[in-house]
Structures are given as structure tokens and as C-alpha cells.
């Protein structure tokens, strides 16, 4: 019998897509090579709902006959099953593409190399504060929000859908069309999956695939790569930068003015356009001093500006945006303060799984820093870490699989402005001990690894949780005393 929807992968997104397809009355086939206990439990739930589920194998005949094939983002494009389907002329879509076809309201799509989770979460928070119901989902991680498919089941539907979209998810879109699209940063990443950085950027650029003149594109004006990403796609540009000069060139802007988060819009505070009688002074909206944000680091000032402008374009009032910015709390594993002992602040930035993210984190701190770097080597050059480390780092502690290459590349290009330490067993626990022996009063000890976690941990969350547990246990600090 022909399956209506076939789903490859039974992780969080595959499970959500299967439930959504079943809710729509589709016949559903799911296949997954993993056979671990959590996967078996998901399979049991779906079978009870009426799906056919195969674990440990893919039935290519059923996949090829399906009316739609939905592929989970963890399955690489060169996976044997996808190569076989391509040979059969079978096309597939990503889980957000499948979900968004069933959304009953406009979509805000947020992508970028770094900063997209904080920005997406902040956008949803600002809209909710403004009493514009917003549903957050996508690539943010299940500890923060559900998969895109779960949002399609919400009743009543939200006023706005907010999705964080990874390059893997954007690779599989066909009709997905955000009303407002946001690009936070661009830098080389996932080069263990992409043949080159151009291929990675090309998938990011699919955010603009279905652009129209009605779109707003909120772009990081500090990055030439981000400015160039939309190409000739229709829609209105809005540029965001901490320096107002870098935010010029679009129909709207956001920047810091004398340390205050500021918006510049083609309409006044009451929503009337300049053509309707507003003077130029009414187009500038001051929000709040960046110093009042709870988010650490200058790069988070950029994320706050991106989110604030997006929320304003979506209809949030300046007052609601001010309130939302003041009440937003740091996200786990993203410049998250976890302890302060003897004048030393310990910060968990485990989500920094690439070089650009770590460079931004290091550069954003004013205090002397002891940096923990390491993990699984993804093949990136570590050279871009040198400039942020010079003059800021007291020491660098290296751990994990990538420690040797990190030391080789950083020593090759640096003068002795900071100390290197290697851990005997390359473990995170040893790295914490080394960092504690090096840190002085007023320092920040920053876990910002510049690498993925898969050499020793299931994911960046497990690594960040381990770091927090080790630090608090060693320092005798309670969970409620960061």
C-alpha cells in the first residue's frame, strides 16, 4: 500500500513529523537505523498511533512509493539511503518545510552560524511580552522549544510562528516562506559535512528562496557575507550593527547610540509612515541601555538588536520591547554564568561549537580570561582565535581530541602573551582543575570550546552540564548561586 508520508530518522524532529502526519490522517512509514532504548520507545508510541516503523533498516520500496519523504537534519546528504532515493528520482523535504505548510499564520525564520538560538528565543519572548502570541520551535533544541511540527498542532494557533532554521533544514525546503527573515552571522562551520564554505552558505541562502516584495530581511550589517547572502532576492532590507555606520543602507536599522539600543524605522512610534506626516525625529526609537541586559558579551548586544528590530517589524510596541529586553534571561550553555567564587566568574559557553562563536565570545569580554578550548576536531582553522586571545587571555587550557592541533596552530602564530596548558588525559574535569589553578581575582574562566562535543559527550548540552556540575561541585556552589 502506498504510504502517504515517509519519514527518515526518529529523533526529535522525525518523531514530531510523524505525529503531525498521523494527526492529518496520513498513512505513515518511519525508518531509523538506530536501535537504542529511546528510539524503541518513540517507535512504540508511533506504532500505537498507527504508523509502521522499521528500526535498524530502511525499506527503500516503501520510501520510494511515498507521496512525501521527510528527512531529519541529522542524516547527511551523502547517506546511502539518500543516494539510493536520488537514483530513483525521489525528492525529499526537511521537517520544517513539512510543518510550515500547515501553519495558520505568518512565520519569522532565524538562521545564521552563531547567535540564532538566542535571537530566536528573544524574538519570541519580546512578542509574547507584547501580547502577540508567538510559538517558538525548530532547531533551538528540545530543552528550549519543540520541533517545528509540534507548532502546527497548536490550537488556537499563535499570531506568529518563530523558527530557528539550520542549514541542514534549509537544504530541504521548497515552499517555506518567512514573512520576516533574520540572519545573525556567517562563518565557516560544518565543514565535516559540507565540501566547502560556499556550499554551506548556499544552504543558508535558501532562506530567501521564496522571497517577495512583502518580506522584511533583518541582516547583520557588521558582516559583508551576511549583507551579500540575499543577493537580488526581493524584499526590504533592515541592517543591524553595534556601530550605527554599519547599520546603514536599508529601509530600517538597529544600532547602539551612546550605549543605548536604538531602532530607526520608516514610521513613527504610532505606526504612521513618514509619508503620513511623521518627521524624521519620530523615526528613531530608544529602547534601553545595553548595560541593563542580562546577557553577557558584546555579541549579545547584536543579538538583542536583531531581535528588537524583528519584534518591532512584527508589531510589538517599543514599551513592550523594552520590558522584554529587561526580563529576558541567559539561555543554558550560551555565555551562561554558572559560579562566582573568590572573584572569579565561571561561564558555560558550551554551545560555541565553531571557531567564530568562540572568537566572538572571547572578544566580547572585558575582563582577563582563562579559556577552555577543545573537543572533536571539525577541520576548521583555529587561526581566527589568535587575535581575540591576544591581550585578553591570561591562559588557554586545551582538552579533548582537538587539543594537539589547537596547540600546534595557536603556538605557530602567537607571541608569549598567554600561557598554554594541556591536560594529561585530555578530559574536561582536568581542564577545570588547570583553569582553577591559573585564574586570578577578577578573571573569567570561559568554556567556549570552538569544537563539537562528540569526542566525549552526546552533545554540547551534556558537555555544558558536565562543566557546570564539575565547577559547582569543586567550588561548593549551589545551583541557585551562580
140-160 pLDDT tens trace: 988 899 999 999 999 999 999
Asked if the model's pLDDT at residue 1 lies above 70, the reply is: no
Asked if the model's pLDDT at residue 423 lies above 80, the reply is: yes
DSSP symbol at 386: H
CATH code that applies to domain 5-91: 3.40.50.720
The pLDDT value given to residue 141: 86
Average pLDDT over residues 304-323: 98
Q: Which of 148, 139, 146 is nearest to 102 (CA)?
A: 148
**CB of 149 within 8 A of CB of 19?**
yes
The pLDDT value given to residue 379: 87
Share of the chain above pLDDT 70, in %: 94
Domains 5-91 and 97-327 share a fold: no
Helix boundaries (H) for 219-367: 224-228, 298-313, 318-327, 355-363
The pLDDT value given to residue 480: 40
CA 165 to chain centre: 8
Asked if the model's pLDDT at residue 2 lies above 60, the reply is: no
Average pLDDT of the chain, as a whole number: 93
Q: What does the alpha-carbon distance between residue 163 and residue 177 come to, in Å, rounded to a whole number?
A: 11
Asked if the model's pLDDT at residue 293 lies above 70, the reply is: yes
Asked if the model's pLDDT at residue 271 lies above 70, the reply is: no
DSSP symbol at 330: P
Question: Which residue reads 512565520 in cell numbers?
Answer: 107
**Domain residues of the chain, as ranges?**
5-91, 97-327, 336-475
The pLDDT value given to residue 279: 41
The pLDDT value given to residue 237: 98
Please, which pLDDT band fits residue 477 given cuts at 50, 70 and 90? low
The pLDDT value given to residue 25: 97
* Angle of helix 355-363 versus helix 298-313 axis, rounded to 10: 100
Q: Any idea which architecture 336-475 has in CATH?
A: Alpha-Beta Complex (3.90)
Give the residues across from 180 on adjacent strands.
108, 216
* Angle of helix 318-327 versus helix 116-129 axis, rounded to 10: 120
Please, which pLDDT band fits residue 481 given cuts at 50, 70 and 90? very low
Give the residues across from 445 on adjacent strands.
346, 370
Asked if the model's pLDDT at residue 278 lies above 90, the reply is: no
Cis peptide before 121 (omega within 30 of 0): no
CA torsion angle 237 238 239 240 (round to 10): -150
Asked if the model's pLDDT at residue 248 lies above 70, the reply is: yes
Please, which pLDDT band fits residue 251 given cuts at 50, 70 and 90? very high
Cβ neighbours of residue 204 closer than 8 Å, sequence gap 6 or more: 111, 112, 167, 170, 183, 186, 229
- The three cell numbers of residue 53 are 516503523
The CATH class that applies to domain 97-327 reads alpha beta
Q: Which of 105-114, 289-298, 410-419 has the highest mean pLDDT?
A: 105-114
Asked if the model's pLDDT at residue 364 lies above 90, the reply is: no
Please, which pLDDT band fits residue 189 given cuts at 50, 70 and 90? confident
Average pLDDT over residues 430-451: 97
The pLDDT value given to residue 192: 83
155-175 tens-digit pLDDT:
999 999 999 999 999 999 999
**CB of 431 within 8 A of CB of 335?**
no
Amino acid at each position: 500500500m502506498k504510504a502517504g508520508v515517509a519519514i527518515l530518522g526518529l529523533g526529535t524532529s522525525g518523531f514530531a513529523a510523524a505525529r503531525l502526519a498521523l494527526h492529518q490522517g496520513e498513512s505513515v512509514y518511519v525508518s531509523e537505523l538506530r536501535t537504542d532504548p529511546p528510539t524503541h520507545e518513540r517507535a512504540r508510541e508511533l506504532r500505537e498511533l498507527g504508523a509502521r516503523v522499521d528500526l535498524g533498516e530502511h525499506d527503500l520500496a516503501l520510501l520510494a512509493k511515498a507521496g512525501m519523504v521527510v528527512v531529519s537534519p541529522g542524516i547527511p546528504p551523502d547517506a546511502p539511503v539518500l543516494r539510493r532515493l536520488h537514483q530513483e528520482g525521489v525528492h525529499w523535504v526537511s521537517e520544517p518545510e513539512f510543518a510550515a505548510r500547515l501553519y495558520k499564520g505568518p512565520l519569522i525564520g532565524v538562521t545564521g552560524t552563531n547567535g540564532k538560538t538566542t535571537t530566536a528565543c528573544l524574538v519570541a519572548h519580546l512578542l509574547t511580552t507584547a501580547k502577540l502570541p508567538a510559538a517558538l520551535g525548530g532547531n533551538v533544541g528540545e530543552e528550549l522549544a519543540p520541533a517545528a511540527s509540534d507548532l502546527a498542532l497548536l490550537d488556537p494557533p499563535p499570531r506568529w510562528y518563530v523558527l530557528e532554521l539550520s542549514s541542514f533544514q534549509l537544504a530541504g525546503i521548497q515552499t517555506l516562506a518567512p514573512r520576516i527573515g533574520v540572519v545573525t552571522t556567517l562563518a565557516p562551520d560544518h565543514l565535516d559535512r559540507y565540501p566547502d564554505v560556499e556550499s554551506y552558505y548556499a544552504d543558508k541562502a535558501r532562506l530567501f528562496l521564496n522571497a517577495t516584495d512583502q518580506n522584511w530581511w533583518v541582516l547583520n550589517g557588521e558582516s559583508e557575507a551576511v549583507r551579500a547572502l540575499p543577493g537580488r532576492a526581493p524584499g526590504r532590507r533592515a541592517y543591524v550593527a553595534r556601530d550605527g555606520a554599519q547599520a546603514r543602507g536599508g529601509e530600517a536599522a538597529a544600532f547602539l547610540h551612546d550605549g543605548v539600543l536604538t531602532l530607526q524605522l520608516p514610521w513613527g512610534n504610532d505606526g504612521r509612515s513618514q509619508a503620513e506626516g511623521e518627521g524624521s525625529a519620530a523615526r528613531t526609537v530608544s529602547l534601553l541601555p545595553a548595560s541593563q541586559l542580562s546577557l553577557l558579551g558584546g555579541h549579545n548586544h547584536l543579538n538583542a538588536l536583531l531581535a528588537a528590530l524583528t519584534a518591532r517589524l512584527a508589531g510589538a510596541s517599543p514599551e513592550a520591547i523594552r520590558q522584554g529586553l529587561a526580563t529576558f534571561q541567559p539561555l543554558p550553555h550560551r555565555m551562561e554564568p554558572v559560579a562566582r567564587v573568590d572573584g572569579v566568574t565561571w561561564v558555560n559557553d558550551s554551545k560555541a561549537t565553531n571557531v567564530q562563536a568562540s572568537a566572538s565570545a572571547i572578544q566580547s569580554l572585558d575582563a582577563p580570561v582563562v579559556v577552555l578550548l577543545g573537543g572533536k576536531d571539525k577541520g576548521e582553522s583555529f587561526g581566527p582565535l589568535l587575535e581575540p586571545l591576544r591581550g585578553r587571555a591570561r591562559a588557554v587550557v586545551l582538552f579533548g581530541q582537538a587539543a594537539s592541533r589547537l596547540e600546534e596552530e595557536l603556538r605557530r602564530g602567537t607571541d608569549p602573551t598567554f600561557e598554554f596548558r594541556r591536560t594529561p588525559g585530555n578530559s574536561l574535569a582536568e581542564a577545570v582543575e588547570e583553569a582553577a589553578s591559573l585564574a586570578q581575582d577578577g578573571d573569567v574562566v570561559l568554556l567556549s570550546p570552538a569544537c563539537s562535543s562528540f569526542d566525549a559527550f552526546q552533545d554540547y548540552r551534556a558537555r555544558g552540564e558536565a562543566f557546570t556540575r564539575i565547577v559547582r561541585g569543586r567550588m561548593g556552589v549551589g545551583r541557585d548561586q551562580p
